[in-house]
Amino acid sequence: MKINPVRGTHDLFGKDIKKFNKIISDVKDIAYQFGFNELVTPIFESTALFKKPLGEQSDVVLKEMYTFKDRNDDEITLRPEYTTPMIRAAISNGLLNNLPVKFFGTGQMFRRERPQKGRYRQFNQINFENFGSNDSFADVEIINLANLLIKKILPNKKIKLHINSLGTRENLINYKKTLSHYFNQNKNFLSSESKDKIQLNPLRILDSKNIEDKEVIDKAPVLIDFLSKENLNEYEEIKKCLNDLDITVYENTSLVRGLDYYCNTVFEFKTNEIGSQDTLIGGGRYDGLIEVLGGKDIPGVGWAGGIERMMLLMDDVQLQNQSIHLAILNQNYKSHAFKIYDFLIKNNLSVFWNYKYNLKKSLSTANEQKAKFIVIIGEDENINNNYTVKNLLNGEQKIKDLSNIMEFIK
């Protein structure tokens, strides 16, 4: 019986797992540098955590969530995103007492989308969240962090920061009304998909990828005209700070993001090198969301990045294999080999026993796996109680025993 992977899922191995682990390690380094602590949450949560906060008309809630009833008839959903679970966890565990608090996490998310390059049904996200501050420097800091991380993971790649301000929730409500009215007047020129969104979710029409919608969208009222003076000043300050940090910003007035909870600053890091699934990181401010989820009325700002999309752009990771290979030339020398095996392991080194008992095959395995050293255990070594050690990078070879082998290997 052959069972295939479920559509939209993938296994990680070989070069990909090296890239994946490099990203996770870069994320942790930068998180600690910026004072963010890790928060790990369960893969499934109560469905209510996502339904309303993400927006009952959002694509994620309408079409993409993996929701099921468990054996007690509890409504469960595999997490489609990480911001709401992080907030839930911060509230459940009383972590919102000394503000601001800064958390990050990495893990699998689940969305039942149509799979394609850069879009999967199970994928991995990086999340950074700052709870409790409406200082515009919190926005700047979290964007700066994203920018530095992207530079670290993808040096030499062209990635553009798109930014927009949605204004407060009240501004947004007014804007949505005006937008619905405008799209209604022009509905004959819109795609049927966009027509369906006019009443319930007109903002989503703005980032429609349908070419026939473009002309109507280009002439639509722009959100920036609905922003208060205070909002505009804050937006200007954020852009200026980013500029001072040498981060080039591209103002994108049609950037609205797909989930209902965003307000004020929204941003995305995009590339044009991986096809239509071109957003690597997306985020923004979500003042009001923490209160909706049963916490205090405190603001928040954060972002999520897709690990698989970053991997698509990433150069191969060249990691030297740290293992020391053993070439045991005959089964009879096993107990002599075992002494060095035990010695190296107890000295915290990594050792690879290949079960080949043949020099040529052992060398070829060691080279294939890019090992730096091989220890040869043949007849002479067995008689003389020593080992021949070869550095496979420069070819240097020495005879050593347990008292002096470490200096050669280190």
Residues of this chain that bind ligand AMP (CB under 6 A): 81, 111, 113, 118-120, 123, 125, 258, 279-282, 304-306, 308-309
CB of 169 to ligand AMP, least distance (A): 19
Q: 25 by DSSP, 3-state: which?
A: helix
Give the nearer residue to ligand AMP in terms of CB position, either 122 or 391.
Answer: 122
**Least distance to ligand AMP from the beta carbon of 113, Å?**
5
Residue 309 CB, shortest distance to ligand AMP, in Å, is: 4
Q: Closer to ligand AMP at the Cβ: 287 or 308?
A: 308
SS3 30: helix
Minimum Å distance from CB 80 to ligand AMP? 8
Residue 80 or 299 with smaller CB distance to ligand AMP: 80
Edge-to-edge strand order for the sheet containing 387-391?
Answer: 351-353, 321-328, 371-377, 387-391, 397-400
Q: Residue 120 CB, nearest distance to ligand AMP (Å)?
A: 4
User: Residue 91 CB, nearest distance to ligand AMP (Å)?
Assistant: 20
Which is nearest to 256 in space by CA: 275, 283, 218, 229? 283
Nearer to ligand AMP (CB atom), residue 121 or residue 390: 121
- Residue 42's closest CA among 91, 78, 10? 78
Give the residue among 265, 271, 262, 261 at the shortest CA–CA distance from 239: 265
CB 90 within 8 A of CB 295: yes
Tell me which residue of 309, 349, 356 sits closest to 116, measured CA to CA.
309
Nearer to ligand AMP, 115 or 378 (CB): 115
- Least Å distance, CB 27 to ligand AMP, is 14
CA dist 215 and 388 (Å) reads: 74
| Count of Cβ atoms closer than 10 Å to residue 408 Cβ | 16
Q: Nearer Cβ to ligand AMP, position 113 or 135?
A: 113
Nearest approach, Cβ of residue 67 and ligand AMP (Å): 16
Q: Determine the Cα–Cα distance for residues 405 and 386; give it in Å rounded to an integer.
A: 9
Pairing of strands 387-391, 101-110: unpaired
**Are 122 and 149 contacting, i.e. CB atoms less than 8 angstroms apart?**
no
Kind plus residue range of the DSSP H or E element containing 294: none
Phi, psi angle pair for 162, to nearest 5°: -95, 140
Min dist CB 403 to ligand AMP, Å, is 54
Q: Supply the minimum distance, in Å, between the C-beta of residue 299 and ligand AMP.
A: 19
Identify which of residues 108 and 191 has a Cβ nearer to ligand AMP in the complex: 108
Q: Between 24 and 351, whose beta carbon lies closer to ligand AMP? A: 24
- CB nearer to ligand AMP: pick between 160 and 370: 160
The pair phi, psi for residue 49, each rounded to 5°, is -60, -30
- Taking CB positions, which residue lies at the least distance from ligand AMP? 306
Nearer to ligand AMP, 102 or 111 (CB): 111
The sign of the torsion formed by the CA atoms of 255, 256, 258, 264 equals positive
Q: How many CA atoms lie within 13 A of 235 on its CB side?
A: 25
Candidates 203, 259, 269; CA nearest to 83 is: 259
